[in-house]
Structure 1
Amino acid sequence: MNEDLSLLLIMVEAGGIMAPLAFVVFHLLRSFLFIPVSVVVVAGGVLFGTLWGTIYSVIGLMGVSIFFYVFIDRMPKTQERILKIKNRWFGEYRNLTVGQIAILRLIPFVHYHLLSFCLKQRKPKFKEYMRASLVTNIPIALFFTIFGEYISTFTPTVIAMILIGLTCLVYLLREKQNVIKWRDFFKRKTEKAAG
Protein backbone atom coordinates (compact mmCIF):
# COMPACT_ATOMS: atom_id res chain seq x y z
CA MET A 1 0.00 0.00 0.00
CA ASN A 2 2.88 2.40 0.73
CA GLU A 3 4.14 1.88 -2.83
CA ASP A 4 0.73 2.85 -4.23
CA LEU A 5 0.59 5.96 -2.05
CA SER A 6 4.14 6.90 -3.08
CA LEU A 7 3.12 6.45 -6.72
CA LEU A 8 0.18 8.81 -6.15
CA LEU A 9 2.42 11.45 -4.57
CA ILE A 10 4.93 11.23 -7.44
CA MET A 11 2.18 11.41 -10.08
CA VAL A 12 0.58 14.43 -8.48
CA GLU A 13 3.85 16.30 -7.91
CA ALA A 14 5.03 15.63 -11.46
CA GLY A 15 1.60 16.25 -12.97
CA GLY A 16 1.51 20.01 -12.45
CA ILE A 17 -1.76 21.24 -13.90
CA MET A 18 -2.90 17.65 -14.52
CA ALA A 19 -2.38 16.73 -10.85
CA PRO A 20 -6.04 17.21 -9.83
CA LEU A 21 -7.17 15.00 -12.70
CA ALA A 22 -4.61 12.34 -11.72
CA PHE A 23 -5.86 12.52 -8.13
CA VAL A 24 -9.51 12.09 -9.17
CA VAL A 25 -8.58 9.15 -11.42
CA PHE A 26 -6.63 7.63 -8.54
CA HIS A 27 -9.85 7.68 -6.50
CA LEU A 28 -11.39 5.46 -9.16
CA LEU A 29 -8.38 3.12 -9.17
CA ARG A 30 -8.26 2.98 -5.37
CA SER A 31 -10.94 0.28 -5.23
CA PHE A 32 -8.90 -2.07 -7.39
CA LEU A 33 -5.70 -1.40 -5.42
CA PHE A 34 -7.42 -2.09 -2.06
CA ILE A 35 -6.41 1.27 -0.60
CA PRO A 36 -8.76 2.66 2.06
CA VAL A 37 -10.70 5.79 1.15
CA SER A 38 -9.37 7.61 4.19
CA VAL A 39 -5.75 7.24 3.03
CA VAL A 40 -6.45 8.80 -0.37
CA VAL A 41 -8.51 11.63 1.12
CA VAL A 42 -5.79 12.41 3.67
CA ALA A 43 -3.26 12.45 0.80
CA GLY A 44 -5.50 14.94 -1.04
CA GLY A 45 -5.44 17.24 1.96
CA VAL A 46 -1.67 17.04 2.18
CA LEU A 47 -1.17 17.61 -1.55
CA PHE A 48 -3.80 20.25 -2.33
CA GLY A 49 -4.69 21.81 1.01
CA THR A 50 -7.97 21.67 2.86
CA LEU A 51 -10.28 23.40 0.36
CA TRP A 52 -9.02 21.92 -2.89
CA GLY A 53 -8.27 18.55 -1.31
CA THR A 54 -11.87 18.35 -0.13
CA ILE A 55 -13.26 19.41 -3.52
CA TYR A 56 -11.10 16.94 -5.47
CA SER A 57 -11.92 14.16 -3.02
CA VAL A 58 -15.66 14.80 -3.33
CA ILE A 59 -15.34 14.74 -7.14
CA GLY A 60 -13.35 11.49 -6.97
CA LEU A 61 -15.77 9.88 -4.52
CA MET A 62 -18.73 10.91 -6.67
CA GLY A 63 -16.99 9.26 -9.63
CA VAL A 64 -16.64 6.09 -7.57
CA SER A 65 -20.32 6.30 -6.63
CA ILE A 66 -21.37 6.64 -10.28
CA PHE A 67 -19.12 3.73 -11.23
CA PHE A 68 -20.64 1.59 -8.46
CA TYR A 69 -24.23 2.50 -9.42
CA VAL A 70 -23.68 1.68 -13.10
CA PHE A 71 -21.78 -1.58 -12.67
CA ILE A 72 -23.18 -3.28 -9.54
CA ASP A 73 -26.31 -4.51 -11.33
CA ARG A 74 -24.11 -6.01 -14.06
CA MET A 75 -22.22 -8.12 -11.52
CA PRO A 76 -24.84 -10.36 -9.85
CA LYS A 77 -22.34 -12.53 -7.94
CA THR A 78 -20.67 -9.49 -6.42
CA GLN A 79 -24.07 -8.02 -5.61
CA GLU A 80 -25.07 -11.28 -3.93
CA ARG A 81 -21.89 -11.29 -1.81
CA ILE A 82 -22.40 -7.68 -0.75
CA LEU A 83 -26.03 -8.46 0.15
CA LYS A 84 -24.90 -11.36 2.37
CA ILE A 85 -22.38 -9.10 4.13
CA LYS A 86 -25.03 -6.40 4.55
CA ASN A 87 -27.49 -8.90 6.04
CA ARG A 88 -24.82 -10.27 8.39
CA TRP A 89 -23.68 -6.85 9.60
CA PHE A 90 -26.91 -4.87 9.70
CA GLY A 91 -29.72 -7.45 9.51
CA GLU A 92 -31.91 -8.64 6.68
CA TYR A 93 -34.75 -6.19 7.30
CA ARG A 94 -32.68 -3.21 8.41
CA ASN A 95 -32.24 -0.34 5.97
CA LEU A 96 -29.68 2.26 6.93
CA THR A 97 -30.69 5.89 6.70
CA VAL A 98 -28.64 8.39 4.70
CA GLY A 99 -27.44 9.93 7.97
CA GLN A 100 -26.28 6.55 9.27
CA ILE A 101 -24.40 5.89 6.03
CA ALA A 102 -22.72 9.30 6.25
CA ILE A 103 -21.56 8.53 9.81
CA LEU A 104 -20.47 4.97 8.96
CA ARG A 105 -18.35 6.30 6.10
CA LEU A 106 -16.29 8.13 8.71
CA ILE A 107 -15.30 4.81 10.28
CA PRO A 108 -12.31 3.58 8.24
CA PHE A 109 -12.89 -0.17 8.60
CA VAL A 110 -16.48 -0.12 7.29
CA HIS A 111 -16.31 -0.98 3.59
CA TYR A 112 -17.12 1.94 1.28
CA HIS A 113 -18.90 -0.17 -1.36
CA LEU A 114 -21.01 -1.96 1.25
CA LEU A 115 -22.32 1.44 2.28
CA SER A 116 -22.84 2.40 -1.37
CA PHE A 117 -24.89 -0.78 -1.76
CA CYS A 118 -27.01 0.16 1.29
CA LEU A 119 -27.45 3.62 -0.20
CA LYS A 120 -28.55 2.15 -3.54
CA GLN A 121 -31.11 -0.02 -1.76
CA ARG A 122 -32.43 3.05 0.05
CA LYS A 123 -32.38 5.34 -3.02
CA PRO A 124 -32.73 3.15 -6.13
CA LYS A 125 -33.31 6.00 -8.62
CA PHE A 126 -30.15 7.54 -10.07
CA LYS A 127 -30.86 11.18 -9.15
CA GLU A 128 -31.83 10.28 -5.58
CA TYR A 129 -28.78 8.04 -5.27
CA MET A 130 -26.46 10.77 -6.52
CA ARG A 131 -27.91 13.38 -4.14
CA ALA A 132 -27.59 10.96 -1.23
CA SER A 133 -24.04 10.04 -2.34
CA LEU A 134 -23.08 13.71 -2.33
CA VAL A 135 -24.54 14.13 1.16
CA THR A 136 -22.64 11.06 2.44
CA ASN A 137 -19.36 11.83 0.64
CA ILE A 138 -18.94 15.43 1.85
CA PRO A 139 -18.45 14.50 5.55
CA ILE A 140 -15.78 11.89 4.81
CA ALA A 141 -13.93 14.27 2.47
CA LEU A 142 -14.07 17.13 5.00
CA PHE A 143 -13.24 15.02 8.03
CA PHE A 144 -10.22 13.21 6.65
CA THR A 145 -8.89 16.23 4.75
CA ILE A 146 -9.07 18.61 7.70
CA PHE A 147 -8.27 16.24 10.54
CA GLY A 148 -6.05 13.83 8.62
CA GLU A 149 -2.81 15.25 9.88
CA TYR A 150 -4.07 15.26 13.48
CA ILE A 151 -5.50 11.74 13.46
CA SER A 152 -2.02 10.24 13.54
CA THR A 153 -1.33 12.05 16.83
CA PHE A 154 -4.48 10.74 18.58
CA THR A 155 -3.99 8.33 21.45
CA PRO A 156 -5.85 5.00 21.41
CA THR A 157 -8.19 6.39 24.07
CA VAL A 158 -9.19 9.35 21.89
CA ILE A 159 -9.70 7.07 18.88
CA ALA A 160 -11.88 4.73 20.98
CA MET A 161 -13.93 7.72 22.22
CA ILE A 162 -14.43 8.95 18.64
CA LEU A 163 -15.51 5.49 17.46
CA ILE A 164 -17.92 5.14 20.40
CA GLY A 165 -19.33 8.58 19.61
CA LEU A 166 -19.80 7.66 15.95
CA THR A 167 -21.47 4.39 16.96
CA CYS A 168 -23.90 6.31 19.19
CA LEU A 169 -24.69 8.65 16.29
CA VAL A 170 -25.40 5.67 14.01
CA TYR A 171 -27.78 4.30 16.64
CA LEU A 172 -29.55 7.64 17.13
CA LEU A 173 -30.00 8.14 13.37
CA ARG A 174 -31.50 4.69 12.82
CA GLU A 175 -34.84 4.02 11.25
CA LYS A 176 -37.33 3.57 14.07
CA GLN A 177 -39.41 0.87 12.37
CA ASN A 178 -38.84 -2.25 10.34
CA VAL A 179 -41.20 -3.54 7.68
CA ILE A 180 -41.25 -7.31 7.29
CA LYS A 181 -43.37 -8.77 4.52
CA TRP A 182 -46.27 -10.90 5.72
CA ARG A 183 -45.11 -14.07 3.93
CA ASP A 184 -41.52 -13.64 5.17
CA PHE A 185 -42.71 -13.32 8.76
CA PHE A 186 -44.83 -16.47 8.64
CA LYS A 187 -42.25 -18.38 6.59
CA ARG A 188 -39.75 -17.89 9.40
CA LYS A 189 -42.31 -18.94 12.02
CA THR A 190 -43.09 -22.18 10.17
CA GLU A 191 -39.38 -22.90 9.60
CA LYS A 192 -38.71 -22.55 13.34
CA ALA A 193 -41.69 -24.77 14.20
CA ALA A 194 -40.59 -27.45 11.71
CA GLY A 195 -36.93 -27.35 12.87
Structure 2
Amino acid sequence: MEDIQETIFNLIDQTGWLAPVIFILLHLLRPLLFLPVVLVCMAGGYFFGLVQGSIYSIAGLSLMSAVFYLIVNHFPRFRDRIARLKKKVFQDREITIGQVMVLRMLPFVHFHLLSLYLMEMTRNFREYMIFSILGIVIPAVLFTGFGHLLLELTWGMTVLLVGLLAVIFFYLGKRAERPEKRIPKKSLSS
Protein backbone atom coordinates (compact mmCIF):
# COMPACT_ATOMS: atom_id res chain seq x y z
CA MET A 1 0.00 0.00 0.00
CA GLU A 2 2.83 2.38 0.82
CA ASP A 3 4.39 1.66 -2.59
CA ILE A 4 1.17 2.69 -4.34
CA GLN A 5 0.98 5.84 -2.25
CA GLU A 6 4.60 6.72 -2.99
CA THR A 7 4.06 6.06 -6.71
CA ILE A 8 1.04 8.38 -6.76
CA PHE A 9 2.95 11.15 -4.97
CA ASN A 10 5.86 10.77 -7.40
CA LEU A 11 3.46 10.93 -10.33
CA ILE A 12 1.92 14.14 -8.96
CA ASP A 13 5.38 15.65 -8.47
CA GLN A 14 6.40 14.72 -12.02
CA THR A 15 3.31 16.20 -13.64
CA GLY A 16 3.96 19.58 -12.00
CA TRP A 17 1.28 22.15 -12.89
CA LEU A 18 -0.73 19.55 -14.78
CA ALA A 19 -1.74 17.65 -11.60
CA PRO A 20 -3.87 20.52 -10.22
CA VAL A 21 -5.45 21.05 -13.66
CA ILE A 22 -6.35 17.34 -13.85
CA PHE A 23 -7.75 17.48 -10.32
CA ILE A 24 -9.89 20.53 -11.15
CA LEU A 25 -11.15 18.77 -14.29
CA LEU A 26 -11.95 15.74 -12.13
CA HIS A 27 -14.52 17.93 -10.39
CA LEU A 28 -16.15 18.52 -13.79
CA LEU A 29 -16.18 14.80 -14.58
CA ARG A 30 -17.22 13.81 -11.04
CA PRO A 31 -21.00 13.71 -11.77
CA LEU A 32 -20.43 11.51 -14.82
CA LEU A 33 -18.27 9.13 -12.78
CA PHE A 34 -20.81 9.10 -9.91
CA LEU A 35 -18.18 10.22 -7.43
CA PRO A 36 -19.38 12.06 -4.32
CA VAL A 37 -18.12 15.61 -3.80
CA VAL A 38 -16.72 14.66 -0.39
CA LEU A 39 -14.57 11.90 -1.89
CA VAL A 40 -12.99 14.16 -4.50
CA CYS A 41 -12.36 16.93 -1.94
CA MET A 42 -10.81 14.42 0.45
CA ALA A 43 -8.51 13.25 -2.34
CA GLY A 44 -7.48 16.87 -2.89
CA GLY A 45 -6.59 17.23 0.79
CA TYR A 46 -4.69 13.95 0.77
CA PHE A 47 -2.65 14.65 -2.36
CA PHE A 48 -2.25 18.45 -2.26
CA GLY A 49 -2.66 19.37 1.41
CA LEU A 50 -5.28 21.48 3.14
CA VAL A 51 -4.59 24.87 1.53
CA GLN A 52 -3.86 23.83 -2.05
CA GLY A 53 -6.45 21.03 -2.00
CA SER A 54 -9.11 23.49 -0.79
CA ILE A 55 -8.18 26.04 -3.45
CA TYR A 56 -8.29 23.41 -6.20
CA SER A 57 -11.61 22.03 -4.93
CA ILE A 58 -13.15 25.50 -4.78
CA ALA A 59 -11.92 26.16 -8.32
CA GLY A 60 -13.25 22.82 -9.60
CA LEU A 61 -16.63 23.11 -7.89
CA SER A 62 -17.00 26.72 -9.06
CA LEU A 63 -16.22 25.69 -12.62
CA MET A 64 -18.72 22.83 -12.32
CA SER A 65 -21.39 25.28 -11.07
CA ALA A 66 -20.76 27.56 -14.05
CA VAL A 67 -20.96 24.65 -16.50
CA PHE A 68 -24.16 23.43 -14.82
CA TYR A 69 -25.72 26.89 -15.26
CA LEU A 70 -24.87 26.89 -18.96
CA ILE A 71 -26.09 23.31 -19.50
CA VAL A 72 -29.38 23.91 -17.71
CA ASN A 73 -30.06 27.03 -19.75
CA HIS A 74 -29.20 25.35 -23.07
CA PHE A 75 -30.87 21.97 -22.46
CA PRO A 76 -34.41 22.41 -21.10
CA ARG A 77 -34.94 18.63 -20.82
CA PHE A 78 -32.03 18.40 -18.40
CA ARG A 79 -33.49 21.26 -16.38
CA ASP A 80 -36.84 19.47 -16.31
CA ARG A 81 -35.15 16.32 -14.99
CA ILE A 82 -33.48 18.21 -12.15
CA ALA A 83 -36.75 20.05 -11.44
CA ARG A 84 -38.59 16.71 -11.16
CA LEU A 85 -35.91 15.48 -8.75
CA LYS A 86 -36.30 18.70 -6.77
CA LYS A 87 -40.05 18.20 -6.57
CA LYS A 88 -39.61 14.60 -5.50
CA VAL A 89 -36.99 15.35 -2.83
CA PHE A 90 -38.26 18.64 -1.42
CA GLN A 91 -41.94 18.42 -2.49
CA ASP A 92 -42.13 22.05 -3.65
CA ARG A 93 -40.74 23.31 -0.35
CA GLU A 94 -39.26 26.77 -0.55
CA ILE A 95 -35.83 27.03 1.02
CA THR A 96 -33.61 30.03 1.61
CA ILE A 97 -30.12 30.72 0.36
CA GLY A 98 -28.85 30.13 3.91
CA GLN A 99 -30.47 26.71 3.91
CA VAL A 100 -28.82 25.90 0.57
CA MET A 101 -25.47 26.82 2.14
CA VAL A 102 -26.12 24.43 5.05
CA LEU A 103 -27.28 21.65 2.73
CA ARG A 104 -24.06 22.00 0.73
CA MET A 105 -22.19 20.87 3.84
CA LEU A 106 -24.07 17.57 3.87
CA PRO A 107 -22.22 15.09 1.66
CA PHE A 108 -25.33 13.12 0.64
CA VAL A 109 -27.39 16.03 -0.74
CA HIS A 110 -27.41 16.30 -4.55
CA PHE A 111 -25.07 19.14 -5.58
CA HIS A 112 -26.91 20.05 -8.80
CA LEU A 113 -30.28 20.02 -7.09
CA LEU A 114 -28.99 22.76 -4.79
CA SER A 115 -27.54 24.58 -7.77
CA LEU A 116 -31.00 24.60 -9.37
CA TYR A 117 -32.39 26.18 -6.20
CA LEU A 118 -29.70 28.87 -6.42
CA MET A 119 -30.53 29.50 -10.07
CA GLU A 120 -34.18 30.02 -9.18
CA MET A 121 -33.31 32.39 -6.31
CA THR A 122 -30.89 34.60 -8.21
CA ARG A 123 -31.47 37.10 -10.97
CA ASN A 124 -28.53 36.40 -13.28
CA PHE A 125 -25.36 34.36 -13.83
CA ARG A 126 -23.16 36.75 -11.84
CA GLU A 127 -25.37 36.63 -8.76
CA TYR A 128 -25.71 32.85 -9.11
CA MET A 129 -21.93 32.42 -9.20
CA ILE A 130 -21.40 34.66 -6.17
CA PHE A 131 -23.81 32.63 -4.04
CA SER A 132 -22.60 29.38 -5.52
CA ILE A 133 -18.96 30.12 -4.65
CA LEU A 134 -19.93 31.32 -1.18
CA GLY A 135 -21.77 28.04 -0.69
CA ILE A 136 -18.80 26.02 -1.90
CA VAL A 137 -16.01 27.49 0.24
CA ILE A 138 -16.89 26.04 3.64
CA PRO A 139 -17.75 22.52 2.42
CA ALA A 140 -14.63 22.38 0.24
CA VAL A 141 -12.39 23.36 3.15
CA LEU A 142 -14.30 21.12 5.56
CA PHE A 143 -14.23 18.06 3.30
CA THR A 144 -10.65 18.65 2.21
CA GLY A 145 -9.20 19.21 5.66
CA PHE A 146 -11.40 17.10 7.83
CA GLY A 147 -12.97 14.62 5.45
CA HIS A 148 -11.02 11.72 6.85
CA LEU A 149 -12.32 12.62 10.32
CA LEU A 150 -15.91 12.63 9.08
CA LEU A 151 -15.47 9.10 7.81
CA GLU A 152 -13.89 7.92 11.08
CA LEU A 153 -16.53 9.41 13.38
CA THR A 154 -18.66 7.02 15.40
CA TRP A 155 -22.29 6.67 14.37
CA GLY A 156 -23.33 8.65 17.42
CA MET A 157 -21.10 11.60 16.49
CA THR A 158 -22.26 11.41 12.89
CA VAL A 159 -25.91 11.52 13.96
CA LEU A 160 -25.12 14.43 16.31
CA LEU A 161 -23.41 16.39 13.50
CA VAL A 162 -26.26 15.75 11.05
CA GLY A 163 -28.78 16.67 13.77
CA LEU A 164 -26.96 19.95 14.44
CA LEU A 165 -26.98 20.81 10.73
CA ALA A 166 -30.70 19.91 10.57
CA VAL A 167 -31.46 22.27 13.47
CA ILE A 168 -29.55 25.08 11.75
CA PHE A 169 -31.37 24.29 8.48
CA PHE A 170 -34.83 24.50 10.04
CA TYR A 171 -33.92 27.57 12.11
CA LEU A 172 -32.89 29.43 8.96
CA GLY A 173 -36.17 28.39 7.32
CA LYS A 174 -38.31 29.60 10.24
CA ARG A 175 -36.36 32.83 10.39
CA ALA A 176 -37.05 33.51 6.71
CA GLU A 177 -40.78 32.77 7.13
CA ARG A 178 -41.28 35.30 9.96
CA PRO A 179 -42.82 38.50 8.69
CA GLU A 180 -40.81 41.58 9.47
CA LYS A 181 -42.27 43.87 12.04
CA ARG A 182 -42.80 47.15 10.39
CA ILE A 183 -42.90 50.37 12.34
CA PRO A 184 -45.53 52.71 10.95
CA LYS A 185 -44.09 55.91 9.66
CA LYS A 186 -45.27 59.02 11.42
CA SER A 187 -46.60 61.74 9.31
CA LEU A 188 -44.30 64.74 9.07
CA SER A 189 -47.20 67.09 8.49
CA SER A 190 -48.95 66.97 11.85
| TM-score class normalised by the smaller sequence | 0.7 to 0.9
Distance 2:121 2:50 in 1: 31
Correspondence list, 1:1-195, <5 A: 12=12, 14-92=14-92, 94-174=93-173, 175-176=176-177
Letter matched to residue 70 of structure 2? V
Percent identity for Structure 1 against Structure 2? 35
Structure 2: 5+ residue runs without aligned partners?
Answer: 180-190
| Structure possessing the higher radius of gyration over alpha carbons | 2
Q: Report which stretch shifted further, 48-57 or 72-81.
A: 72-81
Q: Secondary structure at the match of 2:32?
A: helix
RMSD, matched Cα: 2.0
Q: Secondary structure at the match of 1:73?
A: helix
- The answer as to whether partners of 1:103 and 1:170 remain within 8 angstroms in 2 is yes
Distance 1:85 1:124 in 2: 22
Runs of 4+ in 1 over 3 A off after TM superposition: 9-14
The 3 A distance-change label for structure 1 pair 77 and 162 is same
Letter matched to residue 110 of structure 2? H
Distance 2:71 2:88 in 1: 23
Distance 2:12 2:82 in 1: 33
Distance 2:45 2:127 in 1: 28
Q: Secondary structure at the match of 1:96?
A: coil
- Superposed CA deviations along residues 146-195 of structure 1, whole A, max 9, x for unmatched, are 111212220011111111111111111113169xxxxxxxxxxxxxxxxx
State the TM-score, normalized to the length of structure 1: 0.81
- Superposed CA deviations along residues 16-61 of structure 1, whole A, max 9, x for unmatched, are 2211111101111111111011100010011111111111100000
- Superposed CA deviations along residues 69-122 of structure 1, whole A, max 9, x for unmatched, are 111122222211211221222232x33222111111111111000010111011
Structure 1: 5+ residue runs without aligned partners?
Answer: 1-5, 179-195
User: Offset at 1:12?
Assistant: 4.0
